[in-house]
Every structure is written in C-alpha cells, then in structure tokens.
Amino acid sequence: MTSQHTKNIGASKKAMSKDQFDLIAPTDLKTQTKDRNLMMQILEDLTLLNRVFCSTDYDRSIDYLKEILPFKVHSYTNRDEYNGWTIPPKWDVKEAKIFKDGKVVYDGLKHPLRVVSLSTSCHVTLSLHELKCHLHYDHRYDDAIPYHFRQMYRSWDRDWGFCVTKNFFDSLEPGRYEVLIETEESEGILKVLDLTHQGALPETFAFGAHLDHPGMANDDLAGCAVGVNLFKHLAKRKTKYTYKLILVQEIIGSEYYFGKTNVNNKENILEGLWLEMLGSGTPLALQHSMEGESNMEHAALHSIQSLRIPCKTFPFRGLVNNDEHIWEAYEIPMASLSRAPYPEYHTDRDSFSLMSDKALNESLNVLLGVIDWLESTKLVFKHFQGNICLSNPKYDLYVDVGRPEFGTWKDEHTQKLRLLMDLIPTMRRPVTTKCLSDLVKLDEKMILPYLKLWQKKGLLAIR
C-alpha cells in the first residue's frame, strides 16, 4: 500500500487518567497469532490513508480488503440521491500549506486530519484574524488535532479550512499569511463493501462497521479489521445460518445500502451487530438494540460471560450513535459492540500505536462465541397473526397456572411455560430457542417440547 501518509503519529500531553478508562482484564484467548497479525497488519497499512467518503485512498482501502476477502462492491453516484442524502464529490488533497514571510508554518499533508474534509481549494493572503476563522482546534486538548467531518454530509455548503492543535493556534503571531490548498475533485462514487457467507438457511445475521474516518485507527478501522478476521474464520466452516459483513461510510453508506440495494430487505437480514472501536485498551461495552431483545445481543452477552470478560451494557443510543439507528429505521434490530468511550476519540491520537493486540483478539473471540451460540440453537418462525384461543380443543396449548386465591397455583416450571405461551404471539420476527429460553428463564431443553406442540399445530416452524 502506498500513500503520502505512511508513518505512525505520536501521543498526547493531556490524556485522561487511567482511572477514568479502566484497562481490559486478562482473559484466555483461543485465536492464533496469525489472527492478531492480520488485524494489526490491516490497521498498520490503512490507518493513515485519507479515507474520506469518496477518495483515492478510500478506493485503495477497498482494493486492499478485496485482496483478503471476496467482497462485492455496491456503487452509488450523485444521480442516486436518496432521502435528501447526496454523495459528495471524489476529493483528494494535492497540496495544503500555510506560509508566513515565505516560510511554511503548517503543512496539511503531514496527517489526514490536518485539512478539513472536503475543503475547497484556495490561494489567498489574509490577516491573522481572517486566518483563524478557518482554523479549528480541539477544545478538550491543547496538542491534539480534531476530526472535522461535517462537510462530507453537507457537500453543498463547503469552505476551506485546517484542523490544528490549540498550541499552534495560540502560537500564531500577528501579520499576513498566505494559504494554498489545492484539491482535485471529480464525480463521487460511494462504495459499500458487502460480503456474504452463505449458510444452509437464507436467514441472515449481519455485522457492520464503517471504513471511513481518515487517519484514525480505532474509529472504526479496528471494527473493520475484526470483522474481516471473523469472516476469514467463517470461510473455513459450513454454517446453518447465513452471515454478512457490510463495511460502509458512516450513516450515509447504510442509508444507500438499504434504500438502493437491499430494498425491502430482500437479502433477508434478521438482525445486525455493529462493530465499533474494538482496538483500544478500554473495556468492552454492549449497547442494546432498540427493543433490547435481539438474538445477536443475547448471543453477545453469553459469549462475553463465558469468556469472563468485563463488559458494561447500555440501552439503545445510550453510549454510541452510529449506523444503529439507520438499521433500526429499516426495521432491523441493531446492537453494537464497542470499546467506547476512549480519550483519543476523533483526534490524531487515535493512531496505530493506540491499538492493543489483546483488545483486538479479545473482541474477535467474543464474535466467534456469538457465531457458536447462534449455530447451536434453532430458529422459531411464527405462522399466525394475533392471539390464538389456546384452550380451544382444536389447539389444546393452553398452560393453566391455576389461581392463588383458589389454592391451585402451579409450580415455577409451569409458570415459566405460561410466560412462554404469552410471549410467542408477540414475536415480531424469528427468535432462537436459546433467546426464548433466556427470556422465560427456563432451560432450552425444557421449552422445546412445548414449542414442538405449536409446530405440530402449524403455528410455528422450528429450523
């Protein structure tokens, strides 16, 4: 991989203290060294590419990942405007410098975050006050360069600009400055990567991550790297269910994928799990889907618990807000697995040097556990609407728990079967038997006979 951005960047002065961001606890890891090498190699090779939505470096990243796995590429142009979203032009920076007295005082090509994404070209001479109107610094840290991304979502309203450290901003002396930004633009083509591991059943569980965010490693190239390695493992095995890995530009890529390619969910995606910021040494966090009861989040919790990994849980949008709400808008439950928050977020400190071999491998192990959990259970499909009169002799599926006031209250097992009886009509999508077992707190083997009675009456299918 060749790029003008090829070296690691340094860390910072005012990082948050370790007691604010606990390091991950040791855990038994079962993946091999080659797994860690692949993930770290992806991160080392791609982190410092200028991966804005439509750019030469984004295309380089796609070509790189296609050498590892046989991704399908979905392409969209600005003629495909959808729901008000527009695709920005292809944009590459050729030169970006600030001069004072003929000397370069700032070189925008030294890191992808130094030039505001989709900055316009310019060649102007101006005062310090005028220059500072186009300089953006991070208000949290004195020596970190922030990520300025808004223009990628509003390509119709753009200006030129640089991102700098506050130290640099404060050090500028009065006088005249010359600014030269030369960019190259052409028609933008938004490209979404889509990989399908075909199982025996068409029902699909998807994993997603975003490949954009120039010059940053954890957000979310780390999620892409872990997802790629997961699907390298999947390629070696036959599965009951079908699995997808979808790598997009944050928000807009998912919107185009569901609005233009996977219209009406013809790919039969049941649920998704977003992979986000999985390379830092901060603890794992599981954010639930909107309803909070998807099979994938149950699988993730079981996997995390079986590996004895510390993990915090959050309600939907209680921690991160990426593409989860896009998928949910298309009626696909989307939980997320991340290592948010971390202090280097949206700055040049989010570098390859931040990446933890242990954290990446631990994240991969959790996802392998998710697959194992899903593959070891059955999927239950509802074949009726509304509520069935289960006491009708035609069905004879009613679970009578008795009445405490008459002294006929049944045992705990019967009460839990009754919970299952009441739960089945509320199923809005296929549910695994393991998930149903979790919800009613009754062993999977103990609910299967009752579910099979429903299947015998033609009300359910169990596969």
**Res. 17: pLDDT tops 50:** no
Contact 72, 191 (CB under 8 A): no
Contact 183, 92 (CB under 8 A): yes
**28-41 CB burial, b ≥16 within 10 A, e <16:** eeebeeebbebbbe
Contact 272, 245 (CB under 8 A): no
Report pLDDT for 165: 98
Report pLDDT for 33: 41
DSSP codes joined into one string, 72-121: EEEEEEGGG-BTTB-PPPEEEEEEEEEEETTEEEEEGGGSGGGB-TTPPP
Report pLDDT for 363: 98
pLDDT digit string, tens, across residues 103-146: 999 999 999 999 999 999 999 999 999 999 999 999 999 999 99
131: phi then psi, degrees, rounded to nearest 5: -65, -45
CATH architecture of 22-86+189-375: 3-Layer(aba) Sandwich (3.40)
Distance CA 388, CA 109 (A): 66
**Res. 32: pLDDT tops 80:** no
Give the mean pLDDT of 418-440: 96
**Res. 23: pLDDT tops 90:** no
* CATH class (in words) of the domain with range 90-186: alpha beta
Report pLDDT for 306: 97
Distance CA 42, CA 68 (A): 10
pTM: 0.90
3-class DSSP state of 162: strand
Report pLDDT for 71: 98
pLDDT digit string, tens, across residues 266-284: 999 999 999 999 999 999 9
Report pLDDT for 409: 66
**Res. 218: pLDDT tops 80:** yes
Give the mean pLDDT of 174-199: 98
Report pLDDT for 309: 96
**138-170 CB burial, b ≥16 within 10 A, e <16:** beebbbbbbbbbebbbebeebebbbbbbbebbe
Give the mean pLDDT of 439-451: 96
Residue 417 pLDDT grade (very low, low, confident, very high; cuts 50, 70, 90): very high
Residue 35 pLDDT grade (very low, low, confident, very high; cuts 50, 70, 90): low
**Res. 5: pLDDT tops 60:** no
pLDDT digit string, tens, across residues 309-355: 999 999 999 999 999 999 999 999 999 999 999 999 999 999 999 99
Distance CA 372, CA 366 (A): 10
Report pLDDT for 408: 66
**Average pLDDT of the chain?**
92
Residue 184 pLDDT grade (very low, low, confident, very high; cuts 50, 70, 90): very high
Q: What angle do CA 294, 83, 292 make, to 5 degrees?
A: 15
Greatest Cα pair distance, the chain, in angstroms, is 95
Report pLDDT for 404: 76
Residue 428 pLDDT grade (very low, low, confident, very high; cuts 50, 70, 90): very high
Residue 26 pLDDT grade (very low, low, confident, very high; cuts 50, 70, 90): very low
Residue 405 pLDDT grade (very low, low, confident, very high; cuts 50, 70, 90): confident
Residue 403 pLDDT grade (very low, low, confident, very high; cuts 50, 70, 90): confident
Q: Is the dihedral of CA 414, 417, 419, 422 positive or negative?
A: negative
Which of the residue ranges 131-145, 206-220, 407-421 would you say has the lowest mean pLDDT?
407-421
**Res. 16: pLDDT tops 50:** no
Q: In this structure, what is the dihedral angle of CA atoms 50, 51, 57, 61, given to the nearest 10 degrees?
A: 130
Give the mean pLDDT of 73-89: 94
Report pLDDT for 78: 87
Q: How far apart are the first and last CA of the chain?
A: 45
Contact 400, 433 (CB under 8 A): no
Residue keyed to tokens 């739960």: 423
The residue ranges of every structural domain in the chain are 22-86+189-375, 90-186, 379-462
Distance CA 269, CA 272 (A): 8
**Res. 7: pLDDT tops 80:** no
Report pLDDT for 402: 79
Report pLDDT for 119: 98
Distance CA 163, CA 169 (A): 10
**Res. 205: pLDDT tops 90:** yes
